[in-house]
Amino acid sequence: MLDKLFIRWVLQPYWRLTRSQTLGVQGIVIDGSNKVLLVRHSYVRGWHLPGGGVERDENLEQALRRELLEESGIELTRKPCLHGIFSNFERSTGDHIAVYVVRDWTRVCAPSSGLEIIENKFFELESLPDGLIGGAKRRLFEVFDRHPLSSDW
């Protein structure tokens, strides 16, 4: 795990400079009380939707499944619903994020407390935490408050 994290920190800037496109996937994980799962990373500030990069040998759904299990101990029990694909050009030219709505899941293991994810927590929509990043906040408003879908993160 430490090797993977170190490689990501060292090589991520290089990948962003040399790849024309990057693709990530994130999930809006909703529990039975309509609370949403958010995570805090060790390497970037703020609260985020769980997710991460799509590897070369994965499709979007496989990447989502892997990331949710790694970051939160969550396993999908039904196919997730694609909410949209968003450009995150403020972060990096060519960066795109596919966002899924995940309502059918089970926690198969405790969230790993590791170097990458320092906190996992479900929040009520009326009590979202300070530091929730703008893109995640916009996606939640689109899903729950039916705001118009934007193409930008």
pLDDT by residue (tens digit) across 20-69? Answer: 678 999 999 999 999 999 999 988 899 999 999 999 899 999 999 999 99
Distances (CA, A) of 107 to 64, 73, 125: 15, 6, 21
Question: Is position 4 within any domain?
Answer: no
Question: Is position 6 within any domain?
Answer: no
Question: Is position 65 within any domain?
Answer: yes
Q: How many CA atoms lie within 13 A of 51 on its CB side?
A: 24
Q: Which domain CATH number covers 129? A: 3.90.79.10
Question: Is position 42 within any domain?
Answer: yes
Which are the contacts of 72, defined by CB distance < 8 A and separation ≥ 6?
A: 29, 37, 39, 50, 107, 111, 117, 120
What span, in angstroms and rounded, lies between the C-alpha atoms of 62 and 65?
Answer: 5
Question: Is position 16 within any domain?
Answer: no
CB 102 within 8 A of CB 27: yes
For residue 78 the two structure tokens come to 């039904």
Whole domain around residue 111: which residue ranges? 21-144
Is the pLDDT confidence value at 153 over 90?
no
Query: pTM, whole model, 2 decimals?
Result: 0.84
DSSP letter (8 states) at residue 140: H
What values do phi and psi take at 111, rounded to 5? -55, 135
Count of structural domains, the chain: 1
